[in-house]
Amino acid sequence: MSAPPDGLPVAVQRRLEGIYALEAGLPVSDFLVLESASGGLPGAGSRTLLAQEGDDLALAVVLEDTVAEDLALGDPRVRVDAANLHALCVLTEEVSHFLYLLFCARSGRTVTELELELQAEVDKYLTVACLSSLQNEGAVSKGLRGLLFRSYRLREGLSAERAERYHTASRLADRYCGWLERRLLQPARLPDLCREARRFYRLGQREKLERIAGVA
């Protein structure tokens, strides 16, 4: 049974915290368990679990063993490729959920499942785009959004409601990230990209949808 490369989950966390100007929090690795060792935790597959009792929060980030194994075979910090792209995306989505749930809890905000998934899709794109740019002298493949938002496969057994929510989040993120790519994903405009991403992160679901509807 393999684990993700040493420090990778926290590296993803710190990158997202840096993009969004979030205070560095407890390392996600303290809350990370492999699915084969998850015991009686509810659900299946990679997932982030939250329980709240009063002001107390309990979090767990469960990672499928196959995801950890794919990451162990090829560290995406060295090279993002076809062999580890899916696993990197799954890890990033769960780290995104972890951070956004904590952010909303500290802000006293409620969060919908669609909002959570939409932010995770945007976080996935920005994480992969940043790594790809670092590894390819600033270049980001024009096909990246197609791979992330149009060529994905959902886990079997999802309810129709959950599947539609994932499809909706992917469509919305594709539109928004396409606008970021065309307008801001270039070296001269990276400060503008960060400012836009930080504003978007702090919007609620209604405002996020309005922002996406307004981009061209």
Which pLDDT belongs to residue 68?
93
| 3 vs 72: CA distance, rounded Å | 6
Q: Percent of the chain beyond pLDDT 90? A: 69
Cross-strand partners of 48: 61
Decide: 28 and 98 in contact? Cβ < 8 Å. Answer: yes
Which pLDDT belongs to residue 45?
82
Q: Taking residues 148-162, what's their average pLDDT?
A: 84
Say yes or no to pLDDT of 52 above 80.
no
Amino acid at the residue 84: N
Cross-strand partners of 61: 32, 48
Say yes or no to pLDDT of 1 above 70.
no
- In the chain, what are the domain boundaries? 8-214
| 188 vs 27: CA distance, rounded Å | 32
User: pLDDT tens digits, residue range 181-194?
Assistant: 999 987 778 899 99
SS3 content of the chain, % helix, strand, coil (to 5): 60, 10, 30
Beta-sheet pairing, 47-53 with 32-34? unpaired
* Phi-psi map region of 53: left, alpha, beta (phi>0 left; psi -120 to 50 alpha): beta
Which pLDDT belongs to residue 75?
95
User: pLDDT tens digits, residue range 121-146?
Assistant: 999 999 999 999 999 888 888 899 99
